[in-house]
A and B are shown apart, each in its own frame.
Chain A
């Protein structure tokens, strides 16, 4: 319980830090970016949009601490300002619509890459210098060296554009109404294959190598020797004694890697024109939609913090030492 409270405190600090950064960034950047921003956007957007921007960026006479307080209250109420490129839709609503798709994509690719990567890692450590251990690591390391978005471009070009095996863009066939019908789900899955596959292929190597290395350390533990001495089946020693314990450090790595995986997936979304948060990020950058950019930053950060909290809860469940201490 103590452990969870400590972690909860940490996440609150992290959330506060990103909120504060977000607040001060437009206000304290050199050369008064707010003013420069308005100059750059003259003629591109309507006067009332500029007015909302002015308020959001503190071109007001209130003292700073008052603005800061108002800002925190607004965020707490889910008010992230108004998007410029989707004016007058609120940033919160824009981001919410993209969230679903990013969670689908990140969820599927993360679960699969972690699962496959860890199993390969266990196998690699178990049969050192066997096929899995000698061929796969360098291969996956090479594939993992490619930037997410580049591999996605190549896959899109050859598999979708040249050979037409997969759809070119979007999360489901245009004109299909979202529903819990078999047709819709099939269309979603079909559109999901390529984006998910690219990010799985890039990410899998890291999981495999991580698992393999902890597994090698675990295999040297006395309880593994003991299990072998007892004459337990190889399978049982491998999964119930070694892999189970080697999984723990990897679980914490999982929480840490989440931000990285999400970043990669955002870029994959851009390449495949997948209507998630990444695509919105691109829209925001292209249209100088600063409120949307900041809203995306905050909401992705909060999501990562929440996911880490879940990982911590799992950790407590899995590691009795944490519960006791």
Chain B
């Protein structure tokens, strides 16, 4: 799980089920608001736009890899551990392949695995969360127990044990990551479903005789789309990081080219200890950049859908426009003009 996921944890969920803050979005976004509305808002947000741009760039690199890569990434084109030069823009690996080409091709597997795992865990998590939150009672007890058990078992050792017993390969890694990763979205979406379940539009759908799954998928799910999206981005961050970690440990397929295997080979060929920083810095930067971009989008979603954060931002904008400043006190917003404020002191 990534740092951003912890954030959602603190606000959204209280595992004991006590003192759960009412999920903000449900209360403020009207139930029948068009689900696309927040998407337009998202595109107008600076953080989201910046993050989206980074992601688009990486996606383009992954798609057009053969056109962009100067060499065949598996071919031994130079002497090992050559520093960056005009011939090899990012130097060569410990066995003499072109680093830049490896990085470009690696985008495919790393991003691909990340997106597949992210989407799959979100879909499974949404189904489990919806079912648990909607049916409640026994179903909820069972599914919550399953979810919480999966959540509490530490990730990396579980991944290692699962991956070790299966033949190494792309789909093994993907499957293992899905098995270990669906619980988080399930938990977040369950608590969301629980609160949406109480809304009038669900009752009216029930009374008009809609089936359970229809209510879940057509009535409740569209109303928590932003949380589903945020969960999915979080899941993708988790997947890219965990995949790299597995490969770094040597549990991936070492002959496939991905950011994780680049790091694995950098470690194995002692790239670090011969001073070949270019064998591991670029791959790590790529992982971080992708994760950061997704985190930015998530941050923006939080800003847009959390009315408290949003109103704060709007108030600040308005205040700035009128060259005014809030008093020191948090609770009772007293407007003072900027000059006065300083004179007034604490």
Contacts and interface: CB of A to CB of B under 8 A. Distances in A.
Given A213-B7, A252-B16, A267-B248, A156 B287 contact: no
B156 A285 contact: no
A253 B4 contact: no
Interface size class of A (residues with CB under 8 A): 35 or more
Contact of A259 (B14, B153, B166, B288): B153
Interface string B219-255: 0000000000000000001000100110011110000
B323 interface: no
A23 to B, nearest CB: 12
Interface size class of B (residues with CB under 8 A): 35 or more
A228 B332 contact: yes
B157 A260 contact: no
A165 interface: no
Contacts of A13: 145, 149
Interface in A289-325: 290, 293-294, 296-297, 300-301, 304-305, 308, 312, 315, 319, 321-322, 325
| A contact face: mostly helix, strand, loop, or mixed | helix
A29 B165 contact: yes
B329 interface: yes
Contacts of A263: 154-157, 245
A144 B299 CA distance: 14
Interface string A1-15: 001000000110110
A164 interface: no
Nearest to A146: B288
B11 A210 contact: yes
Interface in B26-53: none
Interface in B128-180: 145, 148-149, 151-158, 160-162, 164-167
Contacts of A211: 10
Contact of B4 (A206, A228, A288): A206
Nearest to B144: A10
Nearest to B284: A150
Residue from A224, A285, A321 with most neighbouring chain B CB atoms (10 Å) = A285
Contact of B161 (A3, A126, A293): A293
14 contacts: A3-B16, A14-B152, A145-B289, A145-B295, A147-B248, A249-B14, A249-B19, A252-B15, A253-B6, A256-B15, A257-B1, A260-B1, A270-B249, A281-B156
Interface of A: 3, 10-11, 13-14, 17-18, 22, 25-26, 29-31, 33, 126, 128-129, 137, 140-142, 144-151, 153-154, 156-157, 161-162, 202-203, 205-207, 209-211, 213-214, 216-217, 219-220, 224-225, 228-229, 234, 237, 248-250, 252-253, 255-260, 262-264, 266-267, 270, 281-282, 285-286, 288, 290, 293-294, 296-297, 300-301, 304-305, 308, 312, 315, 319, 321-322, 325
Interface of B: 1-7, 9-11, 13-16, 18-19, 21, 145, 148-149, 151-158, 160-162, 164-167, 237, 241, 244-245, 248-251, 263, 266-267, 272-273, 275, 277, 280-281, 283-284, 287-289, 291-292, 295-296, 299, 302, 308-309, 312, 316, 328-332, 346
